[in-house]
C-alpha cells in the first residue's frame, strides 16, 4: 500500500510539474471551446467529467477523463492537453483532500487505487 501511495504521490508531482511547464489552465470551464469540434461522444464525456470534477465527484471525474484520454487518436493536441491538465488538477485536489482526512476523498482515493491495481 505504501508503494502505491508513493507512486500516486509521484504521479501528482509529475502532473503538477507538467501543468506548470505547459501553462495549466485554471479550472476546466475556460477550455470548453476547445471541444467545439469534437465528436458528440467526446463532448458529452467532457461535459460529464468536468461537471463531476466541479462537484468533487472524484471517481466519476477521474474515470471520465480516463475515458476521453483512451480515445487520444480522436483528440487534437489541445484537447488532449486540456484533459491531461484537468485530470492532473483533479488528482492534486484529491491528494490534498485525502491528506487532510476528508472522508469522501479518502474513499475516492482508495477506490481509484483498487481500480489501478486490477
pLDDT in tens, 57-87: 999 999 999 999 999 999 999 999 999 999 9
- Does residue 118 have a pLDDT over 70? no
Q: What is the pTM of this model?
A: 0.74
pLDDT at position 76, please? 93
More confident residue, 74 or 10: 74
Total of domains in the chain = 1
With beta carbons less than 8 A apart as the criterion, state whether 47 and 96 touch. Answer: no
State how far the Cα of 62 lies from the Cα of 69, in Å rounded to an integer: 11
Alpha helices in 1-118 (DSSP H): 2-22, 40-54, 58-69, 77-99, 103-117
Domain boundaries, position 48: 2-117
Measured CA distances, 16 to 11, 24, 40, 48, 69 (Å): 8, 9, 30, 23, 18
Q: In the chain, pLDDT over 70 holds for what percent of residues?
A: 74
- Does residue 11 have a pLDDT over 80? no
Amino acid at each position: 500500500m505504501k508503494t502505491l501511495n508513493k507512486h500516486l504521490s509521484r504521479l501528482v508531482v509529475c502532473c503538477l510539474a507538467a501543468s506548470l511547464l505547459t501553462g495549466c489552465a485554471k479550472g476546466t470551464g475556460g477550455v470548453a471551446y476547445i471541444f467545439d469540434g469534437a465528436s458528440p461522444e467526446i463532448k458529452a464525456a467532457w461535459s460529464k467529467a468536468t461537471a463531476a470534477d466541479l462537484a468533487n465527484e472524484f471517481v466519476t471525474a477521474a474515470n471520465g477523463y480516463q475515458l476521453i484520454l483512451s480515445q487520444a487518436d480522436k483528440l487534437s493536441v489541445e484537447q488532449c492537453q486540456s484533459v491531461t491538465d484537468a485530470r492532473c488538477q483533479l488528482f492534486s485536489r484529491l491528494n490534498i483532500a485525502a491528506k487532510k482526512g476528508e472522508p469522501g476523498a479518502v474513499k475516492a482515493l482508495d477506490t481509484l487505487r483498487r481500480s489501478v491495481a486490477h
